[in-house]
Structure 1
Amino acid sequence: MASCIICGKSVDGRICDLHEEDVVFEFRGNQPDQLTVDRYYRGTVDGYAEFGVFVDIGDSVTGLLHRSELDRRLESLDWESGDTVFVQVQQVRDNGNIDLGWSIRQAENEFRGTLVDDPAKDAPYLKEDESGNEDAAADDDSAADASGREQSDDAAEATSRSESESDRRDTAAGREAEDADADADQTDEEPAETTAAATTESAATAAGAESGSGGDGGATAASGGGGGASAVTEEPSHVAIETLSDRVGETVRLEGLVESARQTSGPTVFEVRDETGSVECAAFKEAGVRAYPEIGGDDAVRLDGEVRERRGELQVETEALVKLEGDERETVEDRLADALRSQAEPDAVDPIADDDVVAGLTDGVREVATAVRKAVLEERPVVVRHSATADGYVAGVALERATLPLVRDQHDQHDAVYHYFDRRPLEGGVYDMDDATKDVTRMLEARERHDEKLPLFVFVAAGGTSGSLDGFELLDLYGAGRALVDDVAVDPEVAETVGALVAPAAEDAPDTTSSTLATNVAAHVNDDVREDLRHLPAVSFWEDTPEAYVEAASDAGYDAEAAREVREAVALEAFYQSYEDKRELITDLLFGEGDGHGGLAGHVSEQFRQKLDAEVETAEANLDTQTLDDTKVAVLDTDAFTHRYEFPPTELLLDELHRRHRDDVAAVIGVSDDELHIRSDAPIDVRDIADRAREWVPNAGLTATSARDGKLEYIAGERSAVLDTVIDVVADEVA
């Protein structure tokens, strides 16, 4: 029995039930279920999300402090990654998720005591009650050498801080302190004040290598972090990271790129990646002091160090580290790029169905699929920007369905699918500066707060015309990757700005959909979901669905009626909250149970049909049919005869009017105060129409804002003149 450190009551441990909330605990376990609910724990900020803060408790478990638990706005927190914070464990869920609560006490001296919560012990205890020295986590042989000797004050402090506060890893600090004492015992001439940092030695440099430079391919790295004198010794062997599990205890050389560098209270931890994998490398100068400050993210490096296994994970304890420049850097980058592309590229392109259009675009399918797979392997977020239409949503979800399992495989976090894949609808076919500014703001914030890499943007059924160039150029200024999938010909200047492209050539003008192309890309992003996607092309065709896709959908359990219901249901939901991805709802509509009559899709489809039919009935009663040289054009005043802010949107209404009246009129035109939309079976280039009409109404500010959607814009005062001119030009075009 022991006494409560606060009230003195006899207890099994050092705190009674009454005062347990008055102390803070230091967690020594490695499983979420080893935590005790309602206790306060010391933690370390791991990173931010839109809904809260992730906090590491101990070395191996992470919990979420939800924004609703904070006593202030999430944006007002000044916590940085690695900061020490104090939280209360509120719940440990069956799946291992940990719910944390806010503590008004955010300093250790505000608690009435600190105890160690070690699941290996029967009860919490004071640090001074620990048996043995503070270096129990160090190697057995070093501990044996150090046992029985008194460490200097500086070495003990560095050891204690590094072992108790390191971020998720045992660090080199404890071992460095032991080496300092061992060296002191070996010679009486060394001062007793030798510290752990003073004993950190750099790795050997090869004969003739310049200090601080990488030298040639065989030169040994020069030390820049420990401050010790360089020695000449045998060069370590250059090895691949994937082989490190077989080299524990060996000193090795790695060459690769630094993915991240973070400072803990002990060492600096660099995550280094080569063509075979990545590993964390701890470099120690002084406790909490940045080692190798000249090395940062995306630098190519040569690193020498000893392979260690710490709590089941590999770590390289850095002895020397240098930045590679020039040809050496290019060699490393090329090696990694070749390996990554080889891993990411599909073996062959096998379309979902027999489709000549897709067969003619196999190179593009391969390139876009490779780009998405590379982004996932590089732990780079993928952002899909698609039009807020049924075709856009279905296409975007096809890529989502394929990518999410890869993200789950790549990341341990349960919510990684929300951080590393995002689908953001566009209210139009143009990616303008407003959209690009939002995206750049979000990606820079994620990079600053969470150290995320810049994303790959995939544009689907949007962005294919020159109206998107300004937005693309803003992304390009920051080096964000871009790929594009569209069912219409892409402007040449746009094609030059994207890294990968799937789109038909202008002269082909095939009857396909963006969903058809995106689904084929998705099947090559992740072949495991190919069968899940077979019905999606049929869903995206409003009419004249190719027989190959009708059969594919039928094989997947979707007859023509079911495909229609799903299409209409998605079209309705795409209109509401059009800027939201509605991930779970759209997934239920496209892949959920009961997609036939009476299911979710059937129910929503019925609403779609009722709303559309009512609007079409009103519009048809107010169509103004004009005849010019035997060519009939139907005109609808969308300001006067539609509910502009209710379903259906103007574009969808005009599509339906055109389908119903194509046998009677050559074109349907919808006109409002400052917009004009054209629908026709004839191949019409609205940019050409705008150019011709501008000659007659030069002061109308007439522009083709969306060639993909047949949309023109102008100033409201010239509406009548623009309408008359455009009708004349369109009648001449379709005659």
Structure 2
Amino acid sequence: MGSCIICGASVDGRICDSHEEDVVFDFRGNGPHELVSNRFYRGTVDGYADFGVFVDLAPGVTGLLHRSELDQRLESLEWEPGDTVFVQVKNVRDNGNVDLGWSIRQSMREFRGTLVQEDGTSRLPEADEDESADAEADSEPAEAPTDGTHEGNGHGGDGTVAAATDADAAEDSTADEGAETEETADAAETTAHVEEPGTEEAATAGEPTDVDQAVDDEEAADEEAADEEVADDADEPAPTAEYDRVPIETLGELVSEPVRIEGEVVSVRQTGGPTVFEVRDETGVVDVAAFVEAGVRAYPGVELGDVVRIDGEVERRREEIQVETEGLAVLEGAAAETVERRLAEALSERARPDDLDALVDDGAVTALTDDVLDAAEAIRRAVLESRPIVVRHPATADGYVAGAAIERATLPLIRDEHAKRDAVYHYFTRRPLEGSVYEMDDATTDVTRMLQDRDRHDEKLPLFVLVGTGSTVESADGIGLLDVYDAASVVIDGTVADPETRESVDTLVSPELADVDGDLSTGALTASLAATVNGDVHDDLRHLPAVSYWEDAPADYAELAAGAGYDADRVAELREAIALEAYYQSYEDKRELIEDLLFDDAGDLAAHVSEQFREKLGTELATARENLHTENVDGVRFTVLDTDAYTHRYDFPPTALLIETLHRRTREVDGESVTLGIGTDELYLRSTADLSVRDVAADAAEIAPDADVTAASVRDGTIEFLSGERDAVEDAVIAAVADLV
């Protein structure tokens, strides 16, 4: 038995099952069949093909990363032959072909550990070099390498943490120094120092250092009092230079310069080399790398949410800015309060938009100005706090338009805030829903991922933005599960929310009943919200409201789209293309594809997909029309379709879209018309009358008491029942509708 290199649990090997995805393997085997599926491996780009990238995992062992596995277009990859990359082994075929998957982590420091796989076993990489490393440590201090996993910068000569209680202790062995780090950190009363001198000479000579001098002129008085508390704890060496504190947003101009930054730790991750702390100040976020030895946690006393002062050198790694630490102090007392106050003031100032940026003068939207500003502030604040954002929306054209609008507005803010190129994938996720209800199944998925990210990667709990879902009582259980964990939620819906929802969510954007004069789509409402979140994308969003209406878009929105270059035919193409793509792989966000369709397409892509939409929908409509049953009850015309018998249930179009289209094309001009699609245990209802699906379900339940009739979704117009009572339910619903109309 061994111990997991990340959590220390007893395992048969070197890594436990729950942390295997957090480790990257250096493969030194002799053939592809020695690879282990689902593991992440370091490889080297061999070359490109039209269908993907070939990656060498070892001499003679090459895999294919197919273009369908990429999270971006193949043409946009910046990999060159010979580049080191990280991939996941998905499958090893009988013929030896290796199928690879994409890894969002594309640097060693993003993994929490590294192992060598050889001869069917795994071992730590430093085991190969123990003897030579020991000999080098005995002979002379190690020089700081240039690859970011250095041993000299901020540590004793052998790479261990150089922390002591006084000058005499600093002359002890580096092993003793490392042991004393935890003791002195626990003993600190005001500032929990975990500093490390920048050179071996500083450690052995015990030269005094000063953390009290570098302050901003405008905060001199507060900083002086705060730094007096820092200086009270003189048992540990402080950062080794009198650096000026600089804003994180300026680090790109200070490469190779010594700097001091102060901020909050927003994430911690252990890589196969350094420990990486993500630190946020009032201007941005940056990675801070601290190295003890390969895969060993530096500064174990530093936790998520700590306020820290860091001295170090600015470096550029793979076009990303990071700071190589030379000294780090956890601030407490007045010192921490000064930084926290600075962060809070800047956060409040940056997060709240000045005013609503409505795309048109729509009274239904302007009536919600305060709510829209609250929602925009919540989204902007999450970006500034380095809090992940999860957007949930129905897999419909309106849902995708609304979700894509928020995505278009938020991603540039994330890019501006974070130095990491992949931050837009790390801090923003869009997950479509199958229906319009945020069910327990959806909430359980979200909470499971949320807790895994918190426990594995020290991530903050995300902000959940529910668009076109979550506003009715049918979503109460799902939202309740989020509330158990105090996960913040924003709900946006173009239709009136249930009163119960107004009490259960943190921020609600939904019209009051008195404010509803006409039809407001969720896409139209959310597009104005997105423009308020980020005014720079205002012009990008002008056509989205018109796309979100299936028919009869308000004239103001149609004119807005036309002014942006999208006439009625072009808007229809986009709507149909989005509706088709929303159906396939419905749980995937299809971020790049949706972006191409809605924002970057010159016309060919949307036109091509729209043509498929019309062909598939036309074929299904022709079949359905031949098998409709029509009857009149109390002056109401009912059109009924057996969706089990006369639809392709597992192909496009989805039943809800088919029934909606049938209703629009068969409804009466004069008189009330109702279209019903009834399947095994679910009924779809569309009506020209103003009917409440809940009222219909309640009355039908009284007429057919053994059928367990319930309203499944008022937004989708769906009713559920027991399959054995199908015929009774059909009669009961018809009777209930006729009575209510």
**Per-residue deviation, 1:375:** 2.5
Q: Check conservation: 1:280, 1:316, Cα contact below 8 A.
A: no
Instruction: Indicate yes or no: 2:504 matched with 1:497.
Output: yes
Q: Check conservation: 1:52, 1:65, Cα contact below 8 A.
A: no
Q: Check conservation: 2:357, 2:535, Cα contact below 8 A.
A: no
Correspondence list, 1:153-164, <5 A: 153=138, 159-160=141-142
Q: Deviations over 1:311-333 (max 9, x none)?
A: 88656644643556xx9978865
Instruction: Name the residue aligned to 1:66.
Output: 87
Q: Distance in 1 between matches of 2:87 and 2:547?
A: 39
Letter in 2 for 1:81: F
Q: Distance in 2 between matches of 1:197 and 1:310?
A: 31
Match of 1:173 among 155, 159, 165: 155
Instruction: Indicate yes or no: 2:557 matched with 1:564.
Output: no
Instruction: Name the residue aligned to 2:715.
Output: 708
Letter in 1 for 2:111: S
1:496 partner SS: helix
Q: Distance in 1 between matches of 2:365 and 2:620?
A: 36
**Per-residue deviation, 1:291:** 6.4
Letter in 2 for 1:497: S
Q: Check conservation: 1:307, 1:317, Cα contact below 8 A.
A: yes
Instruction: Indicate yes or no: 2:113 matched with 1:83.
Output: yes
Q: Deviations over 1:492-542 (max 9, x none)?
A: 333333333322123444302111112112222222222122111111222
**Per-residue deviation, 1:712:** 0.8
Letter in 2 for 1:160: A
Instruction: Name the residue aligned to 1:395.
Output: 402
Q: Check conservation: 2:275, 2:290, Cα contact below 8 A.
A: yes
Match of 2:737 among 720, 730, 733: 730
Instruction: Name the residue aligned to 2:235.
Output: 229
Instruction: Name the residue aligned to 1:520.
Output: 528
Letter in 2 for 1:388: A
Instruction: Name the residue aligned to 1:639.
Output: 644
Q: Check conservation: 1:678, 1:711, Cα contact below 8 A.
A: yes
Match of 1:418 among 418, 425, 445: 425
Instruction: Indicate yes or no: 2:585 matched with 1:612.
Output: no
Instruction: Name the residue aligned to 2:669.
Output: 663
Instruction: Name the residue aligned to 2:6.
Output: none
Q: Distance in 2 between matches of 1:615 and 1:199?
A: 71
Q: Distance in 2 between matches of 1:458 and 1:604?
A: 29
Instruction: Indicate yes or no: 2:465 matched with 1:472.
Output: no
**Per-residue deviation, 1:714:** 0.8
Q: Distance in 2 between matches of 1:620 and 1:603?
A: 26
Q: Distance in 1 between matches of 2:476 and 2:592?
A: 32
Q: Distance in 2 between matches of 1:698 and 1:171?
A: 76
Distance 1:722 1:583, change over 3 A: same
Q: Deviations over 1:323-347 (max 9, x none)?
A: 56xx997886565344223212222
Q: Check conservation: 2:286, 2:322, Cα contact below 8 A.
A: no
Instruction: Name the residue aligned to 1:576.
Output: 584
Q: Check conservation: 2:693, 2:711, Cα contact below 8 A.
A: yes
Q: Check conservation: 2:358, 2:365, Cα contact below 8 A.
A: yes
Q: Deviations over 1:657-678 (max 9, x none)?
A: 2222142543222222211121
Distance 1:479 1:239, change over 3 A: farther
Instruction: Name the residue aligned to 1:487.
Output: 494
Instruction: Indicate yes or no: 2:546 matched with 1:541.
Output: no
Distance 1:360 1:604, change over 3 A: same
Q: Deviations over 1:430-467 (max 9, x none)?
A: 11122222223333344445554433222222222122
Letter in 1 for 2:235: A
Q: Deviations over 1:384-442 (max 9, x none)?
A: 21111111112222222222333333344444433333222111111112222222333
Instruction: Indicate yes or no: 2:696 matched with 1:694.
Output: no
Q: Check conservation: 1:388, 1:425, Cα contact below 8 A.
A: yes
Distance 1:127 1:557, change over 3 A: farther
Instruction: Name the residue aligned to 1:58.
Output: none
From the CA coordinates, give the structure whose radius of gyration is larger. Answer: 1
Larger RCO, structures 1/2 (Cα 8 Å, 6+ apart): 2
Instruction: Name the residue aligned to 2:382.
Output: 375
Correspondence list, 1:128-277, <5 A: 153=138, 159-160=141-142, 167=149, 171-174=153-156, 195=174, 198=177, 210=189, 220-221=229-230, 229=235, 241=247, 254=262, 256-261=263-268, 270-277=277-284
Q: Check conservation: 2:663, 2:675, Cα contact below 8 A.
A: yes
Instruction: Name the residue aligned to 2:32.
Output: none
Letter in 1 for 2:582: A
Q: Check conservation: 2:314, 2:322, Cα contact below 8 A.
A: yes
Letter in 2 for 1:682: A
Distance 1:172 1:231, change over 3 A: closer
In structure 1, stretches of 5+ residues that fail to align are 1-20, 23-31, 42-49, 54-60, 88-101, 115-125, 129-133, 135-151
Q: Check conservation: 2:113, 2:271, Cα contact below 8 A.
A: no
Q: Distance in 1 between matches of 2:589 and 2:568?
A: 26
**Per-residue deviation, 1:638:** 1.9
Q: Distance in 2 between matches of 1:659 and 1:264?
A: 57
Instruction: Name the residue aligned to 2:437.
Output: 430
Distance 1:608 1:169, change over 3 A: farther
RMSD over aligned Cα atoms: 5.1
Q: Distance in 2 between matches of 1:179 and 1:641?
A: 72
Distance 1:394 1:108, change over 3 A: same
**Per-residue deviation, 1:277:** 4.2
Q: Distance in 2 between matches of 1:322 and 1:69?
A: 45
Instruction: Name the residue aligned to 2:461.
Output: 454
Q: Distance in 2 between matches of 1:177 and 1:620?
A: 76
Distance 1:191 1:421, change over 3 A: closer
Instruction: Name the residue aligned to 2:346.
Output: 339
1:423 partner SS: strand
Distance 1:678 1:232, change over 3 A: closer
Deviation larger for 551-560 or 655-664: 655-664
Q: Distance in 1 between matches of 2:150 and 2:367?
A: 51
Q: Check conservation: 1:166, 1:264, Cα contact below 8 A.
A: no
**Per-residue deviation, 1:580:** 2.2
Distance 1:508 1:111, change over 3 A: same
Distance 1:712 1:340, change over 3 A: same
Taking every aligned residue pair, what percent have the same amino acid on both sides? Answer: 48
Correspondence list, 1:110-121, <5 A: none
Distance 1:479 1:646, change over 3 A: same
Q: Distance in 1 between matches of 2:299 and 2:130?
A: 39
Q: Distance in 2 between matches of 1:197 and 1:163?
A: 25
Instruction: Indicate yes or no: 2:411 matched with 1:404.
Output: yes
Q: Distance in 1 between matches of 2:594 and 2:160?
A: 59
Instruction: Indicate yes or no: 2:538 matched with 1:530.
Output: yes
Distance 1:251 1:710, change over 3 A: closer
Q: Check conservation: 2:414, 2:427, Cα contact below 8 A.
A: yes
Distance 1:169 1:590, change over 3 A: farther
**Per-residue deviation, 1:683:** 2.4
Instruction: Indicate yes or no: 2:632 matched with 1:627.
Output: yes
Instruction: Name the residue aligned to 1:13.
Output: none
Q: Deviations over 1:639-665 (max 9, x none)?
A: 233232232222112212222214254
Q: Distance in 2 between matches of 1:606 and 1:69?
A: 35
**Per-residue deviation, 1:293:** 3.8
2:264 partner SS: strand
1:220 partner SS: helix
